[in-house]
Every structure is written in structure tokens, then in C-alpha cells.
A and B are shown apart, each in its own frame.
Chain A
Amino acid sequence: EIVLTQSPDFQSVTPKEKVTITCRASQSIGSSLHWYQQKPDQSPKLLIKYASQSISGVPSRFSGSGSGTDFTLTINSLEAEDAAAYYCHQSSSLPITFGQGTRLEIK
């Protein structure tokens, strides 16, 4: 099973700040890494697919990068509505696994 480790677990940030969340895989997964945003009492929402591909309707301030074992989700110019938990997910090999999540608090 591929283990995904996100950092940090929690971050408190101010609006307009740039945020970086990392996801490290226990073995190489190519670009089969996807990012989700989950707001309280809502279902997860797909933000980025295949490490860096944008999703229609997702604000352009969200971007992803990386390949192999190290991946990054970047949020440029953070907005108050970005307060949420963020998860990475790998589809390279079964079983499908998720990172433990990163909770973002807006000051």
C-alpha cells in the first residue's frame, strides 16, 4: 500500500498569503496524484488532477506540481473562502489511498 504523507497537518494563514501544502508518497506514483478541498459538512471537491492539471470551475489561484514521490498544492493570494481541509489522493496502484489531510485556518 502506498502511504501519502501531507505537511503541514494544520496551518493558520492570513488572506492574500501564498500557501503551499506538500504530499509525499512512499514510492513513485508518476503523476497519479490528485488534490481535493473539503469544507465543513461538505463532500470533497476535486481541485487538481494528475498532479498539475486544472479542473474546470476551480479558481486559477489553485495550482499543483510534482511527480514521482513529491507533490505540491499551491494557493496563491488566499481568500477567506479557502478555509477547508485539503487532501491528496493517489490512483497509481491499488488500494487507492489518501493523505491524512491538511487543515487550513484563515486568521
Chain B
Amino acid sequence: QLQLQESGSGLVKPSQTLSLTCAVSGGSISSGGYSWSWIRQPPGKGLEWIGYIYHSGSTYYNPSLKSRVTISVDRSKNQFSLKLSSVTAADTAVYYCARGFQAGGFDYWGQGTLVTVSS
């Protein structure tokens, strides 16, 4: 059974960089046909897709966040990471990592981690 687990700082100061990691277990992040995404959800609000990385290393970011986002993969550790720079209070959200299949839906999700942007 595939499992995803987010980790990282839960509190980030405004203007700093948010950093999160998603550890994948029960399967290889290098398996073909899947994408690995970051998705966020502000408190009480809906879901916003941030971007994804394929096993090949190719990435695509939501244009609304593109200038501030970097997603990378560490195949040796079977994990992928998110960096979001110049954060503001509007970036406060629960951040999820998820696996996408064949340009389709997200079939496995992490439990989510709350990141609060505050001084």
C-alpha cells in the first residue's frame, strides 16, 4: 500500500521560504506513468493545485504561483519537495502531497500538514 507523508516547518515568517518534503513508501517514486503533486487548502476553503513533478524530473507549476514555486525530486530517498518563496499570510494552508495517475485523478494523498505564515 502506497503511503505519502508530508514533513516540514509548520510556521514560516512572512517573506521567507516555505519548505516541505513528501516521503513516499510502499512504492517507487521513479515508477513510470505517475506524477507527484503538491496541493493546498486554506482553512475553510477549497483545493488549489500548486504543481507537479514527473519521475523524469519534468515539472509544471500553476501559473498563479509559478514565480515562487520549485518542486524537486530525490530518487535516492524516494521523496519530493516543495519550496515556496516570499510567503505571505495568504499562503497559510494545509499542504498535501498526492500521486496522480496517467493524466488522471489523484489516487493517493498524504495526511496534510498545516503551514502558518506569521511573524
- Contacting residues, chain B, for A98 (C-beta < 8 A): 46-49
Give the CA-CA distance A67 to B44 in the complex, in Å: 30
Question: Are A87 and B46 neighbours in the complex by a CB distance under 8 Å?
Answer: yes
Cβ-based interface call for A34 (8 A): yes
Of the stretches B18-26, B74-82, B108-116, the one at the interface is B108-116
Asked if B33 lies at the interface with its beta carbon under 8 angstroms from chain A, I say: no
Contact-size category for B: 20 to 34
User: Which B residue's beta carbon lies closest to that of A87?
Assistant: B47
Q: Quick check: A43 and B112 within 8 Å, CB to CB?
A: yes
Q: Assess the B62–A46 pair: CB atoms within 8 A.
A: no
A39 to chain B, nearest CB (A): 12
Q: Which of A43, A96, A100 is in CB contact (< 8 Å) with B46?
A: A100
Instruction: Assess whether A97 is interfacial by the CB under 8 Å rule.
Output: yes
B104 lies within 8 A of A34 (CB): yes
* Interface flags, A1-33, vs B, CB<8A=1, else 0: 100000000000000000000000000000010
Most buried by A among B100, B104, B107, B112: B104
Q: Are A46 and B105 in contact (CB under 8 A)?
A: yes
Residues in chain B near residue A34, CB distance under 8 A: 104-106
**Chain B nearest Cβ from A8, distance in angstroms:** 14
Contact status of A89 and B63, CB under 8 A, knowing A95-B49, A98-B49: no
One of B47, B48, B106, B110 near A46 (C-beta < 8 A): B106
Contacts of B62 on A, CB cut-off 8 Å? Answer: 95-96
B residues less than 8 Å from A91 (CB atoms): 100, 103-105
Find out whether the CB atom of B104 lies under 8 angstroms from the CB atom of A44.
no
B105 in contact with A49 (CB, 8 Å) = yes
CA distance A70 to B48 in the complex (A): 21
Name the 6 nearest CB pairs between A and B, nearest first.
A34-B105, A43-B109, A96-B49, A98-B47, A95-B62, A49-B105
Between-chain CB contacts (< 8 Å), 9 pairs: A43-B109, A43-B110, A46-B106, A49-B105, A49-B107, A91-B100, A98-B47, A99-B46, A101-B46
Contact surface of B with A, Cβ cutoff 8 Å: 37, 46-49, 52, 60, 62-64, 96, 100, 103-107, 109-112
